[in-house]
Amino acid sequence: MQARPGPPPAAAGPPQARPGGETKLRPLACTARPAYERRRLHFRKTLMAQNFRQSEILTIAREAGKVTVEELAARFNVTAQTIRRDLGDLCEVGQLTRVHGGATIPSGVIALGYEDRRSLASQEKDAIARMVAQQIPDGVSLFMNIGTTTEAVARALLKHRNLMVITNNLNVANILATSPNSEVIVAGGILRRADGALVGDVTAEFIAQFKVDYAIIGSAAVDPDGSLLDYDFREVRVAQAIIRNARKSYLVADHTKFKMSAPVRIASLADLDGFFTDVAPPKSIVQLCAEHDVFIRTVENATRPR
């Protein structure tokens, strides 16, 4: 009968002396991880770090409007090549758009979601709103259009008395409805459920019935040539009617709007009376406003010690 083969021999360790001069091989314990397992663990750690970094990059881009390779490499202590790969990945899935030296959030034809807009530069919007409220006296009439900055202005006006506010923004109406000192008139039109906006020809015709003291307007973007831009042509028609039917028109926009773009033109800053923002605008906009007697008020200057 043929003997069954036994188990394979264990790996031999250093020879061990036995009585009588014989030697015995001691099995060698294997404590090191196999190479493939080490590679797998390294890959998982790298992927986790990459996912975290890309998530942070998106957060920074949404807050600032733009990110640069140089700044991100310094912030995360990685090479510029690593950041370029991250930006390439984010651009490939449509989260960012590549520009020279970095990337921006996509803003050419699609607007950010309402919640994203509301959280973007929220402190700056509140500071702008307080500055605007100081310029609005009691007992006046106002237009207030669509936008999260105009909503911040509505909150800043809650302590004003005897205001008449005409708005196509349901959020503005709901904010001012809590004040017993203001009359709120809501325009009709097509409801845009995403942000509580009322838009369209009916809304523009409704606005044309009034002639008010002040218009507080926002826009999706401010072009370097001074053009105020937005995404929805129905909304733009309403904004244009607001400007035509106000004695004084003020733009409220934070610094992120200088880095945005949108396809529909509302008006030029040259058509307005004032611009309230948080930091100094680009030189081309400053020059345009100076040439057309449009004042600029910045939070940066208002809070600077004298």
> How far is residue 281's CA from residue 221's CA, in Å, rounded to a whole number?
12
- Spell out the SS3 assignment of 42-109: HHHHHHHHHHHHHHHHHHHHHHHCEEEHHHHHHHHCCCHHHHHHHHHHHHHCCCCEEECCEEECCCCC
> How far is residue 159's CA from residue 83's CA, in Å, rounded to a whole number?
48
Q: What is the pLDDT of residue 306?
A: 46
**What's the whole-number average pLDDT of the chain?**
83
Q: Which residue has the higher pLDDT, 252 or 231?
A: 252
| pLDDT band of 123, cuts 50, 70, 90 | confident
Residue partners of 81: CB distance under 8 A and separation at least 6 = none
> How far is residue 250's CA from residue 273's CA, in Å, rounded to a whole number?
6
Q: Helices 148-156 & 122-135, crossing angle to 10 degrees? A: 50
Q: What is the pLDDT of residue 161?
A: 95
Q: Whose CA is closest to 284, among 229, 222, 224, 227?
A: 224
DSSP conformation class of 306: -
- 178-232 tens-digit pLDDT: 999 899 999 999 998 888 899 999 999 999 999 999 999 999 899 999 999 998 8
**Quick check: 45 pLDDT over 60?**
no
**Quick check: 294 pLDDT over 90?**
yes
| pLDDT band of 105, cuts 50, 70, 90 | confident
**Quick check: 47 pLDDT over 90?**
no
CB–CB of 254/128 below 8 Å? yes
Domains of the chain with bracketed CATH: 41-104 (1.10.10.10), 114-302 (3.40.50.1360)
Q: How far is CA 147 from the centre of its chain?
A: 13
Percent pLDDT > 90 in the chain is: 55
Q: What is the pLDDT of residue 193?
A: 86
Q: Which residue has the higher pLDDT, 120 or 298?
A: 298
Q: What is the pLDDT of residue 109?
A: 46
Q: Which residue has the higher pLDDT, 18 or 147?
A: 147
Q: What is the mean pLDDT of residues 253-257?
A: 89
**Quick check: 12 pLDDT over 80?**
no
**Quick check: 114 pLDDT over 80?**
no
Considering the entire predicted model, what is its pTM?
0.66
Q: What is the pLDDT of residue 112?
A: 57
Q: Which residue has the higher pLDDT, 121 or 240?
A: 240
> How far is residue 151's CA from residue 218's CA, in Å, rounded to a whole number?
10
Spell out the alpha helix ranges (H) of 95-199: 114-119, 122-135, 148-156, 170-176
Q: What is the pLDDT of residue 289?
A: 97
Q: What is the pLDDT of residue 160?
A: 96
